[in-house]
A and B are shown apart, each in its own frame.
Chain A
Amino acid sequence: MAGLFYIFALTAAAGAVGVVLSRNIVRTAVCLLAALLGLAGLYFSLAAEFIAVVQLVVYAGGTLVLIVFGVMLTARVPTAHLDIKMRELVIALCTGAVFLAVLWGGILTADWPVAKASTGAADAQPYRIAKLGEALLGDYLVPFELASVVLLVVMIGAAYLAKARRK
């Protein structure tokens, strides 16, 4: 399925470049959608279907909708453009360079188990969603619950701020 890999990878990469280069926030969101769809396709082709679908629900269906919604609420319609200052550009480039270095280093030094794993028909479905659920509510219950508590704190805080603003 190498052909499909290149299609998805190109979509994701083109979308990411579009996000960086576009000055219009809504167009940026659409480019982000392309990047997310490409990534979801990559996950699908790696048989990681759950993470692919979560990607679509959380980012494409949730975050992107809220981004566009926020733009429509705050910006005047014809002027939803980004003005990038020199300082921001430098900071963004430095952050990007550091991130790339970390990622590159990680990729080069990692011990990839993929080549060993794909041996026979015994592991026809290595990725079972039931196992994921058992792991989240079994071995990793405490981190999972902690994450949900953090989210709850954020939600209550946002509700409090919104209410305080109104008074």
Chain B
Amino acid sequence: MISVSALSLGEATRTFFERLYFGDKPEPLGTATQLIYSAVIVLVMAVPFVGTLAALAIWAERKVAGHIQSRIGPNRVGPFGIFQSVADGIKLIGKEDLIPAGADRTLFRLAPYLCFAPVFAAFVALPFGPDLIFEPRLNVGVFYVLAMLSVDVLGVILAGWASDNKWSIYGAMREACQTVSYEIPLGLSVIVAVMAAGTLNMADMSRMQSGGLHTWLIFSNPFTFAAFIIFFIASLASNKRAPFDLPESESELVAGFHTEYSGMRWAFFFFAEYAAMFVVGAMQAALFLGGFHDPFGLVGHFHAKYSAAGNNAGIILVNVAAAVIFIVKACVIIFIQMWLRWTLPRPRIDQVLHGCVKVLLPAACATLLGAALWQLLAGPAVARVVSMLLTAGGVAIVMIVATWIAYAIVTARRVRPRLSEPAPLQ
């Protein structure tokens, strides 16, 4: 009776890498084989990937912060200070692991893992390439990633509660009300993309956007364009990224929910945060920005060609290229998140909630209604013209912003105040 399971049901559509690993045998896999396969994937691919990613993201954040504030940022450990996170990690391992006397010891220990594990689990559904998705048969992939991001909140709240510290509790309370409210616009904006794609499966969703720039869902209709912006703002809040970093606002709450944490437990929260940033960026890439497809549809074209020819080397090459494209897209989103963090000031908690309930939520509802009406009423010809216009507009916006930034970089002077040569008083 129990043998009717998701994994044995999916035999008909065994993934490319499962076929490479197990061969093309039709008989179902045993529990042990399946578990070993999963463990190998997790240990060889997922753990090093997430670890490297988080370490590089932390280094990049400090570098971005430095340049935005006319500093240089970390530059001592390795070229451009790229190994700074490794050095920090070694330092953190050596730190004393403190637990406050009044803390709930079990929950205090549990909280960092509860924060980290769901983000890690979300990677299962992310489509890195045509065949580079761990579970392409997960029909509710989009919803699953959202679920993992919402479970992640509980770790932060428990950390704040278990610390027995008033600053931690304030941080945890802010996290609770902020994420619970911003989850609604986040979910609604995802639904707009899902309606345009007609599927919740991340692999199918990526396949839909394979035909080049104008087939990307962000350019599908005006409402998906709006939904992308709403998703970006809501994802900042649900990830507690600045300007929504109230749970750890260091100017008022010491360090918020992780005030009492030190050493590796503290580091786990940051691994979770930077991994979640990637997950959110990857969601935006997969849902709106064409997933792992390049703007010209080459990945889709070559994958179809090599699949038809049965060329395994070619398929692997296409997958690697697709993964690079996907990661670059997610990293661009991560960069914009960092850019905003070091540019915008932090609002108060009432302003944050006001912004959600009275601005973002109505906007998300209107977008959802508009998208539904669009799907019903817009004819194929109109849809095509509008999608082309949106694509042209989107490309124009990106070009203008890129030119502006390039101009600013070329013409900027780095101001270096010198104590020995004070400016003359007027």
| B164-A57 in contact (CB<8A) | no
Note all chain A residues with C-beta closer than 8 A to B173. Answer: 69, 72-73
Residues of B within 8 Å of A112, CB to CB, are: 1
**B136-173 near A? 1/0 per residue, CB < 8 Å:** 01111001101110110110011011101000010011
Nearest-neighbour CB distance to chain B for A123, whole angstroms, equals 8
Determine if A26 and B150 form an interchain contact, defined as CB atoms under 8 angstroms apart. Answer: no
Chain B residues contacting A30 (CB-CB under 8 Å) are: 107, 110, 158
Bound-complex Cα distance A121 to B102 (A)? 58
Q: How far is the CB of A77 from chain B (nearest CB, A)?
A: 6
Minimum Cβ distance to chain B for residue A112 (Å): 8
B34–A1 touching, CB < 8 Å: yes
Interface stretch among B64-72, B174-182, B221-229, B265-273? B174-182
Given contacts A3-B31, A60-B150, contact A53 B143 (CB under 8 A): yes
The reply to whether the CB of B411 lies closer than 8 angstroms to some CB of chain A is: no
Instruction: State in angstroms the CA–CA spacing of A73 and B157 once bound together.
Output: 12
Give the chain B neighbours of A66 by CB distance below 8 A.
176, 180
User: How many residues of B sit at the interface, in one of the four size bands?
Assistant: 35 or more
**Interface status of B5 (Cβ within 8 A of chain A):** yes
Contact of A4 among B31, B104, B144, B164 (CB under 8 A): B31
Q: How far is the CA of A56 from the CA of B140 in the complex (A)?
A: 13
CB-defined contacts of A68 to chain B, threshold 8 Å: 154, 157-158, 161, 176
Look across to chain B and name the residue whose beta carbon is closest to the beta carbon of A2: B2
Also in contact, A62 and B180, with CB within 8 A (given A26-B158, A49-B140, A53-B140): yes
- A128 to B157 CA separation, bound complex (whole angstroms): 35
Task: Give residues of chain A (107-126) contacting chain B, Cβ–Cβ below 8 Å.
Answer: 112, 114-115, 117-118, 121, 124-126
Those of B179-227 within 8 Å (CB) of chain A: 179-180, 183, 200
In the complex, whether B327 has a CB less than 8 A from a CB of chain A is no
Establish whether residues A46 and B4, one from each chain, have CB atoms under 8 Å apart when the complex forms: yes
Known A3-B31, A49-B140, A49-B144: A118·B3 in contact at CB below 8 Å: yes
Q: How far, in whole Å, are A47 and B74 apart by their CA atoms in the complex?
A: 48
B5 and A45 contacting across the interface, CB-CB below 8 Å: yes
Q: Are B12 and A65 in touch, CB under 8 angstroms?
A: no
Can you show 7 pairs from A to B with CB atoms below 8 A apart?
Answer: A50-B139, A53-B147, A60-B147, A68-B176, A72-B176, A77-B164, A114-B1
